[in-house]
């Protein structure tokens, strides 16, 4: 029995759901961003699997995975800078304590 | 069961176990290290799926740079006497139900579509083919991505600078 595309897609769906759960429930900004990275990761896994199982030599899925990596790296760098700035100004990085824009 | 299938199940078990650990563990450091394990496991799956370049990039950027950066931020923001750990959050049942339903929806979509699957072949020179694709067909998005990275770099420096 070989690997099928459905197995990989189900695995990526499970990983994406776990990442969603973490991003919605965790209180620390750092872990929320890490969970978003896990979701990006699941999507990358999907794209690489599509490129593999399409049987073509075009490798478009891998190209898109490269772009997703670029965007998620940029997003993570900015989020870490925002976390440091929030800690400096508000003394906490818990998402439920950062409510100055709520009225 | 073939060797590739066994490797796939091994990495899948690692990925699921450590992603659950990322979202459930109380310790921030353990959470980040579990995320490190998840990213490494994904790199292993990339190697399995003919994507050597992406696997190397995953190890270098995610497992190397991103984990170190996040660990630095963890150390910078959770130190000092002002910090109190209040990670014990009650499990919000509605979020749990939402995630279960969402995952079920994804699974049903995946299983209901007849994917046009071809027989996967072991390619040679994937990195060269990827570079050709990237620098010929997708040159403009590539340059835009470099501008995006530059903007993110400058933005992070401006945000995190102490003035």
* Within-domain flag for B43: yes
**Residue B10 parent element (H or E):** helix B3-24
pLDDT-derived band at B85, boundaries 50, 70, 90: low
Judgement on whether residues B16 and B82 belong to the same structural domain of the protein:
yes
Q: Which CATH number covers residue B28?
A: 1.20.120.1200
Task: Check CB contact under 8 Å for B51 and A65.
Answer: yes
Residue B47 CA to residue B57 CA, distance in Å, equals 11
User: What SS3 state is found at A94?
Assistant: strand
Question: A31 and B28: CB-CB below 8 Å?
Answer: yes
The H or E element that residue A91 is part of is none
Residue showing tokens 């929030």: A86
- Kindly identify which residue of chain B lies nearest to residue A53, measuring between CA atoms: B120
Is residue B119, in this structure, part of any structural domain at all? no
pLDDT in tens, B92-148: 788 889 999 999 999 999 889 888 777 777 677 788 888 888 899 899 999 999 999
Percent of chain B scoring above 70 in pLDDT: 90
**Higher-scoring residue by pLDDT: B75, B120:** B75
Cα angle B159, B156, B62 (rounded to 5 degrees) comes to 145
Upper half-sphere CA count for residue A10 (Cβ side, 13 Å): 14
**Whether the predicted pLDDT of B66 surpasses 80:** yes
Which residue bears the tokens 């450091």?
B29
Residue B89 has pLDDT above 70, yes or no: no
Contact A11 B12 (CB under 8 A): yes
Mutation target for B interface from A60, A77, A95: give the one with most B CBs within 10 A.
A77
**Any domain includes B69:** yes
Q: Choose among A9, A59, A85: nearest Cβ to B126.
A: A59
A 10 A CB-CB count for A56 gives 13
Nearest to A65 by CA among B6, B118, B156, B45: B45
Instruction: Report all structural domains of chain A as residue ranges with CATH numbers, in order of start.
Output: 5-90 (1.10.287.3510)
When scoring A4, A7, A27, A30 by the number of chain B Cβ atoms within 10 A, the one with the most, hence best to mutate, is A30
Task: Band the pLDDT of A2: cuts 50, 70, 90.
Answer: confident
> Does a structural domain hold residue B70?
yes
3-state secondary structure of A48: helix
Rounded CA gap, B120 and B118, in Å?
Answer: 6
Examine residue B62 and state whether it is found in any structural domain, yes or no. Answer: yes
Residues of B in contact with A69 (CB under 8 A): 54, 57-58, 61-62
Closest CA–CA distance from residue A103 to any residue of chain B (Å): 23
Compute the nearest-CA separation of B146 from chain A (Å).
Answer: 8
B75 vs A contacts (CB less than 8 Å): none
Inter-residue contact A7 to B8 (CB < 8 Å) = yes
Residue B27 lies inside a defined structural domain of this protein: yes
Indicate the pLDDT class of residue B84, thresholds 50, 70 and 90.
low
Closest-CA residue in chain A for B74?
A30
A88 versus A39: the higher-pLDDT residue is: A39
Whole-angstrom CA distances from A74 to A34, A93, B123 are 13, 20, 31
Q: Shortest CA distance to B144 belongs to which of A38, A66, A81?
A: A66
- At residue A86's C-alpha, the angle toward residues A85 and A91, to 5°, is 115
Number of domains forming the structure of chain B:
2
Domain span at residue B63?
3-88
Distance of CA B61 to the CA centre of its chain: 10
Distance (Å, whole) CA B87 – CA B72? 19
B95 inside domain? no
Residues B75 and B132 in one domain: no
Let me know if residue B160 belongs to a domain: yes
State how far the Cα of B109 lies from the Cα of B53, in Å rounded to an integer: 30
Return d(Cα B111, Cα B114) in angstroms, integer.
Answer: 8
Per-residue pLDDT tens digits for A32-87? 999 999 999 999 999 999 888 887 767 888 899 999 999 999 999 999 999 888 88
Tens of pLDDT, residues B16-36:
999 999 888 877 888 889 999
* Least Cα separation, residue B148 to chain A (angstroms): 7
Based on the domain organization, do B81 and B11 belong to the same domain? Answer: yes
Whether B78 and B8 map to the same domain: the answer is yes
């Amino acid at each position: 029995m070989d690997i099928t595309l459905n197995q990989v897609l189900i695995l990526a769906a499970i990983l994406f759901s776990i990442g969603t759960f973490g991003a919605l429930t965790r209180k620390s900004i750092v872990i929320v961003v890490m969970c978003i990275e896990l979701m990006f990761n699941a999507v990358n896994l999907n794209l690489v699997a599509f490129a593999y199982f399409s049987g073509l030599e075009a490798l478009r899925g891998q190209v898109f995975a490269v772009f997703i990596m670029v965007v998620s790296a940029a997003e993570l760098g900015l989020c870490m800078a925002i976390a440091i700035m929030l800690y400096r100004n508000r003394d906490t990085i818990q998402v439920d304590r950062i409510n100055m824009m709520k009225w | 069961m073939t060797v590739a299938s066994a490797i796939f199940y091994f990495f899948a078990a690692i990925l699921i176990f450590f992603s659950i650990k990322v979202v459930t563990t109380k310790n921030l450091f353990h959470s980040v290290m579990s995320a490190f394990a998840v990213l490494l496991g994904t790199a292993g799956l990339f190697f399995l799926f003919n994507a050597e370049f992406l696997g190397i990039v995953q190890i270098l950027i995610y497992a190397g740079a991103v984990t170190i950066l996040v660990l630095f931020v963890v150390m910078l923001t959770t130190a000092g006497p002002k910090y109190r750990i209040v990670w014990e959050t009650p499990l919000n049942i509605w979020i749990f139900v939402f995630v279960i339903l969402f995952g079920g929806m994804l699974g049903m979509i995946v299983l209901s579509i007849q994917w046009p699957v071809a027989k996967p072949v072991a390619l040679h020179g994937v990195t060269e083919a990827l570079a050709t694709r990237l620098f010929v067909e997708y040159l403009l998005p590539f340059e835009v991505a470099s501008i995006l990275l530059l903007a993110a770099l400058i933005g992070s420096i401006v945000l995190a600078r102490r003035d």
